């Protein structure tokens, strides 16, 4: 899969402020979300309530973190998948470090903030503001998505509010003096209900569900991206499919930063397809799973995507 040819993704743009308007306007927005989840697996939200200064400060403070000496960053290095704060690098044989990352558990905030980096000095304050705002927005969007599935807006709300929020910050250095495009993060889907993504510049690509081509996702000023995750695919009984995506490194002078907030349930909370979405015409397609199952899968080194391991084969029994 994949090609060196550039294709641009026409990402649906949804104005979240319209959810507060009259019933007819709200219904139109819910329908936009439904179609976006079904056909693209990704959409952009504007007028989402997060001040642009919070997003800009978060990108800047993480750029400053990745510019710190390696010995400071390596204090957070760990092979432990369960580590609440984890720094690392991904390397390619021909191209050195492909990217650096920092993963933070961020909810409950009070439980994890003292484990976060102390440098830069304002890191905890700025990222605390950012992660709390992203979590609040994720819960709001999840409610609208539940409505788009003809479920109650409060379906799983309590479980999502108690759930794990993990934030991944990725730093992709550019490839100076080259027209090459080199894969950074390889193709994958996210183990989340939804992923909320902020990116500083181009680099995200998604697999178009229609023509199966990789397409570049534009940077829309003031917007955040919403990606359908594995948990939403399971919950929707396959009505919404997790979006396959990757990141590339391109030539240029700027380092690309992305901040992704993954909204899941609690570590051992089993999520299954909503029973309202299971019937004779649409039998259950997935078995229940939880975040711990996913982390065990990752730690095992199994190459098969996790969501594929929880699919149920509804084939006739061979006589």
Q: Of residues 188 and 95, which shows the higher confidence score?
A: 188
The pLDDT value recorded for residue 97 is 61
Give the mean model confidence (pLDDT) for residues 53-59: 97
Separation of alpha carbons 47 and 40, rounded Å: 21
For the stretch 218-264, pLDDT in tens is: 999 999 999 999 999 999 999 999 999 998 876 666 789 999 999 99
The pLDDT value recorded for residue 176 is 61
The model's pTM:
0.92
The pLDDT value recorded for residue 318 is 35
The pLDDT value recorded for residue 90 is 82
Helix ranges, the chain (H): 23-39, 52-66, 70-73, 109-112, 123-148, 157-162, 230-235, 291-300, 306-309
Per-residue pLDDT at 36 exceeds 80: yes
Three-state secondary-structure class, residue 52: helix
For the stretch 179-209, pLDDT in tens is: 556 666 788 999 999 999 999 998 899 999 8
Per-residue pLDDT at 50 exceeds 60: yes
Domains assigned to the chain:
13-309 (2.60.120.330)
Of 141, 250, 140, 165, nearest in space to 199 by CA: 250
């Amino acid at each position: 899969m994949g090609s060196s040819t550039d294709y641009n993704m026409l990402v649906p743009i949804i104005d979240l402020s319209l959810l507060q308007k009259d019933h007819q306007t709200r219904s139109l927005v819910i329908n936009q979300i439904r179609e976006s989840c079904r056909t693209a697996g990704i959409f952009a939200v504007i007028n989402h309530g997060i001040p642009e200064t919070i997003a800009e400060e978060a990108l800047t403070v993480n750029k400053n973190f990745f510019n710190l000496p390696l010995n400071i960053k390596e204090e957070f290095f760990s092979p432990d998948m369960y580590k609440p704060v984890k720094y690392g690098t991904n390397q390619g044989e021909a191209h050195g470090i492909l990217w650096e990352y920092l993963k933070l558990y961020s909810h409950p905030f009070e439980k994890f903030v003292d484990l976060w980096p102390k440098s830069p000095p304002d890191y905890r304050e700025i990222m605390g503001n950012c992660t709390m705002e992203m979590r609040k927005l994720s819960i709001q969007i999840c409610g609208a998505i539940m409505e788009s599935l003809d479920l109650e807006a409060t379906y799983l709300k309590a479980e999502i509010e108690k759930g794990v929020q993990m934030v991944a910050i990725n730093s992709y250095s550019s490839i100076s003096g080259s027209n090459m495009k080199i894969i950074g993060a390889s193709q994958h889907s996210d183990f989340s209900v939804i992923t909320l993504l902020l990116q500083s510049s181009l680099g995200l690509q998604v697999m178009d569900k229609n023509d199966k081509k990789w397409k570049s996702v534009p940077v829309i000023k003031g917007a955040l991206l919403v990606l359908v995750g594995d948990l939403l695919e399971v919950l929707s009984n396959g009505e919404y499919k997790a979006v396959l995506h990757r990141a590339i490194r391109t030539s240029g002078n700027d380092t690309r930063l992305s901040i992704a907030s993954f909204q899941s349930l609690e570590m051992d909370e089993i999520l299954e397809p909503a029973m309202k979405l299971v019937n004779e015409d649409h039998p259950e397609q997935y078995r229940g799973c939880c975040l711990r199952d996913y982390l065990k899968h990752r730690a095992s080194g199994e190459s098969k995507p996790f969501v594929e391991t929880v699919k149920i084969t509804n084939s006739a029994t061979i006589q």
